[in-house]
Amino acid sequence: MINPIYYQESGIEKINQYIKNHQPTKVIFLVDENTRELCFPKVVSELEIESETKVLEIASGEENKNLYTCISLWEALTELKIDRKSLLINIGGGVLTDMGGFVANCYKRGIAFINIPTTLLAMVDASIGGKTGVDLGSFKNQIGNFALPQMVLIEPDFIQTQSFEQIRSGFAEIIKHGLIADSNYWQKIKQIQNPDAENTGNLIETSIKIKKSVVSLDFTESGLRKILNFGHTIGHAVESFFLENQTPILHGEGVAFGMIAESYISMKKNLLSPFENEEIRNYIASIYPKLPVKQENFDKILAFMQNDKKNTRNEIRFVLLEKIGKAVYDISVENELIIEAMTQMLKD
């Protein structure tokens, strides 16, 4: 089970077809200050909408991905008298598509929505697969549900609206796809030293295929889908730590850190070979800046991991690598080894 994904002009055509067939009462566009200026005009100029349209804008940034923003959106939808036959079109990055999907799915028990991801991260990960939700304080995606958009439209040109750091952040999810599922893909990815719009744009389709194939086997993440969280157990905890300290880092920077540390754990668990562990560490460290994590932060970061959604009975459960291209999940890892892996990260 997964939403259809369409590309460029054929995607616009599908949205137009959907609107023609369903005749939504109103079409609401959800944008942030960046996508309103840089992406919305192109989308709206290509759509054929006869219904009344409205634009709702939220402030960009992870710090706004919370229930307070959702409440303001539900109030705005109520004020606009949006009914259940209306359509919400989310135009933005992962924060916006995660939150927009959640808002749509809860409003009057659910209205239809379409995702138009505008960041590399949202194109290859967040907008695909039906996970929606918001953060609770510093806990990432703590509140949420599974809800599928009617469709996802991928317009790779939108990546050009992003800074290099944001594109590099999305690239971490592409690296993850190679590591968990496809060693040939990893070989191709590894050639990239400069993950800019040009070098990453032609990887989008392969990454989406990998994500789609995993999600279609396990939509609600009772098993296999957990492999998509490789690098995220430590990565999310580090991200939460910096978010709480009010010095947020980009998601992919946390995931890059997490993938190196979790590869080390995979090696110590006699799964991944030392050679492959070295290969992963060297490549990822050559792309991402070193995070200012310190030994005295480890307890706090570990406490965030204790709240990870993949844990069972208070055990921290990891996705680890058996080899490049093959992940295993639900592996319990003792705190000492997690600390050891993070200590390795402090070395040059």
Positions in 129-158 near ligand GLY (CB under 6 A): 129, 131
Minimal distance in Å, beta carbon 252 to ligand GLY?
12
The kind and range of the H/E element at 135 are strand 131-136
The binder of ligand GLY chosen from 125, 155, 253, 276 (CB under 6 A): 125
CA torsion, ordered 138, 139, 143, 144, to nearest 10 deg = 110
- Does residue 225 belong to the site contacting ligand GLY (CB under 6 A)? yes
Cβ atoms of 291 and 238 closer than 8 Å: yes
Q: Which stretch binds ligand GLY (CB under 6 A): 41-49, 202-210, 223-231, 276-284?
A: 223-231
Report the DSSP beta bridge partners of residue 202: none
Between CA 77 and CA 107 the distance in angstroms is 8
Give the nearest residue (CB) to ligand GLY: 228
Helices (H) and strands (E) in the chain, counts: 15, 10
Q: Which stretch binds ligand GLY (CB under 6 A): 114-122, 156-164, 222-230, 333-341?
A: 222-230
Question: Phi and psi (nearest 5°) for 103?
Answer: -60, -45
Residue for token digits 């006699």? Answer: 270
Q: Where are the alpha helices (DSSP H) in 59-163?
A: 67-79, 94-106, 120-121
* Residue 334, both tokens: 């003792």
The binder of ligand GLY chosen from 228, 287, 301, 342 (CB under 6 A): 228
Residue for token digits 């090696």? Answer: 267
Residue 29 or 171 with smaller CB distance to ligand GLY: 171
Minimal distance in Å, beta carbon 66 to ligand GLY?
19
Binding mask 306-325 for ligand GLY (x = CB under 6 A): --------------------
Positions in 253-292 near ligand GLY (CB under 6 A): none
Report the DSSP beta bridge partners of residue 143: 134
Residue 97 or 229 with smaller CB distance to ligand GLY: 229
Residue 129 or 195 with smaller CB distance to ligand GLY: 129
The kind and range of the H/E element at 37 are helix 33-38
Q: Which stretch binds ligand GLY (CB under 6 A): 132-140, 221-229, 262-270, 319-327?
A: 221-229
- Does residue 117 belong to the site contacting ligand GLY (CB under 6 A)? no
How many residues of this chain interact with ligand GLY, rule: CB under 6 A? 6
Between CA 79 and CA 103 the distance in angstroms is 15
Residue 125 or 253 with smaller CB distance to ligand GLY: 125
List residues near ligand GLY by CB under 6 A: 125, 129, 131, 225, 228-229
